[in-house]
């Protein structure tokens, strides 16, 4: 069915343009005109697939979520799970830049805020058993596992923001050293 195929192919083109724009200019730069320009098409073509700014934003967040899920390591190791979040590659730097940028739209829109709230809750819930495992292995101090998961998520995302804002000060090696020093500081000392 060529028509269907054309439709799917074109939607993929528009989707790629949406991602290109948000990865380069953030959600503040995500407009129908910018997406059309990024794919050398018309705004009419873009609105055919994404009828509003809100639809563009939701699609960009969907793509970000898909790309993020694809990078979540299948691991029971806390360090491995946290290292995977840091902007140590071009791909994770781009993803983090999109997520940090998304907080502006999320805090201004109840529907988007609920999505981000659920995303954070899923992340802390995914970290919790890794925290408990690390505690059982004697690698992490005792304490409420969800509180520790929230604190480790906070440390990691706070480091992400500083690295995106100041990549020369927070290069790949220093980010790994800072995370490792933090996990060492949280080890039970005997």
The residue ranges that bind a copy of itself (CB under 8 A) are 24-29, 97, 100-108, 113, 116-117, 120-121, 141, 143, 147, 150-151, 153-159, 161-162, 164-166, 169-170, 177-178, 181-182, 185-186, 189
Nearest approach, Cβ of residue 121 and a copy of itself (Å): 7
The secondary element (H helix, E strand) that includes residue 153 is helix 145-165
Q: Which is nearer to a copy of itself, 5 or 169 (CB)?
A: 169
Q: Which is nearer to a copy of itself, 59 or 157 (CB)?
A: 157
Q: Which is nearer to a copy of itself, 55 or 150 (CB)?
A: 150
Q: Which is nearer to a copy of itself, 72 or 181 (CB)?
A: 181
Q: Which is nearer to a copy of itself, 68 or 156 (CB)?
A: 156
| 122: its two tokens | 């899923």
Contact 153, 52 (CB under 8 A): no
Specify the DSSP class assigned to residue 86.
S
Burial class (CB in 10 A: 0-12, 13-18, 19+), 142: exposed
Q: Taking the CA atoms of the chain, what radius of gyration do you get in angstroms?
A: 19
Burial class (CB in 10 A: 0-12, 13-18, 19+), 85: buried
**Cα(127)–Cα(117) distance, rounded to whole angstroms?**
16
Nearest approach, Cβ of residue 74 and a copy of itself (Å): 24
Nearest approach, Cβ of residue 133 and a copy of itself (Å): 18
Q: Which is nearer to a copy of itself, 51 or 120 (CB)?
A: 120
Nearest approach, Cβ of residue 27 and a copy of itself (Å): 6
Nearest approach, Cβ of residue 9 and a copy of itself (Å): 30
Burial class (CB in 10 A: 0-12, 13-18, 19+), 137: exposed
**Cα(177)–Cα(169) distance, rounded to whole angstroms?**
13
Nearest approach, Cβ of residue 84 and a copy of itself (Å): 16
């Amino acid at each position: 069915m060529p028509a269907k195929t054309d439709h799917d192919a074109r939607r993929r083109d528009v989707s790629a343009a949406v991602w290109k724009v948000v990865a380069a200019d953030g959600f503040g730069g995500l407009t129908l005109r910018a997406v059309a320009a990024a794919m050398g098409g018309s705004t009419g073509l873009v609105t055919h697939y994404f009828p509003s700014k809100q639809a563009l934003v939701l699609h960009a967040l969907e793509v970000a979520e898909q790309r993020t899920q694809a990078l979540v390591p299948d691991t029971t190791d806390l360090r491995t799970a946290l290292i995977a979040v840091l902007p140590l590659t071009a791909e994770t730097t781009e993803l983090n830049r999109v997520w940090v940028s998304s907080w502006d739209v999320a805090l201004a829109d109840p529907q988007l805020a609920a999505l981000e709230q659920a995303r954070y809750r899923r992340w802390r819930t995914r970290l919790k058993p890794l925290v408990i495992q690390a505690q059982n292995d004697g690698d992490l101090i005792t304490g409420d596992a969800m509180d520790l998961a929230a604190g480790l998520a906070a440390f990691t995302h706070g480091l992400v923001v500083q690295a995106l804002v100041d990549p020369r000060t927070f290069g790949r090696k220093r980010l790994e050293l800072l995370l490792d020093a933090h996990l060492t500081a949280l080890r039970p000392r005997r």
